[in-house]
Amino acid sequence: MNITAEKIGKKYRKEWIFRRVDLTLTAGNSYTFVGPNGSGKSTLLQLLTGSLPITEGTLTYSLQGKTLDADDWFRYVTIAAPYLELVEELTLDELLTFHQTFKPFVEGQTPETIAEKLLLSHARHKEIKYFSSGMKQRVKLGLAFFSRAPIIILDEPTSNLDRQGMNWYHEQMQQLISPANPSPKLLLIGSNQPDEYDFCPNVIDIMQWK
């Protein structure tokens, strides 16, 4: 799965957030977008998911050389971000079961095994609204990590994680980017924290497009 951005830009009212963004993002690689707070990292990630419209330019998703219809992009993308909310009235088991009806998990994974991977087996039957902020963040990340989608987008991925959560995050990332992974992902990260992306060889400063 590849994403190609050609001269894309985003404008709110009369202000350009960025312009003339040219990118080729390819499967099996990881990319981190950095820049000061308010520079447009989250906006760019949302453009690349198709959840926000671009103001100018062309954005293309391709799979095995075939261009995908824009209406189908969401099937190939998972995202974890502070501005995305969980359905807090559901228990963890209910949330995982609901999620896999529209975004299947990787082969061999079930709500029970994913709860174990999230270190949340003890909370499977607890409603999400009673989770701590760190537990909720692990759930958001887990839904991205363990879904079958070939593109994973993470915005401020370690928000609210304690040291145990940080260690868990890095363990999961090492498995995702491992050459032994049978299903290589395209990983996109928005961050200002070096310990969130110290494994990533492709660091892109968004200020070049301001």
Name every residue whose Cβ is closer than 8 Å to that of residue 84 and which is 6 or more positions away in sequence: 140
Q: Among 23, 21, 29, which Cα is nearest to 1's?
A: 29
Please report, for the chain, the start and end positions of each structural domain, with discontinuous segments joined by +.
2-209
Instruction: Domain 2-209: give its CATH architecture.
Output: 3-Layer(aba) Sandwich (3.40)
Kindly give the confidence (pLDDT) of every residue in the chain, 210 residues in length, as a single tens digit, with 9 standing for 90 and above. Answer: 899 999 999 999 999 999 999 999 999 999 999 999 999 999 999 999 888 999 999 999 998 889 999 888 888 999 999 999 999 999 999 999 999 998 999 989 999 999 999 999 999 999 999 999 999 999 999 999 999 999 999 999 999 999 999 999 999 999 998 888 877 899 999 999 999 999 999 999 999 998
Give the pairing of strands 2-12 and 15-25.
antiparallel
Taking the whole predicted model, whether its pTM rises above 0.75 is answered as: yes
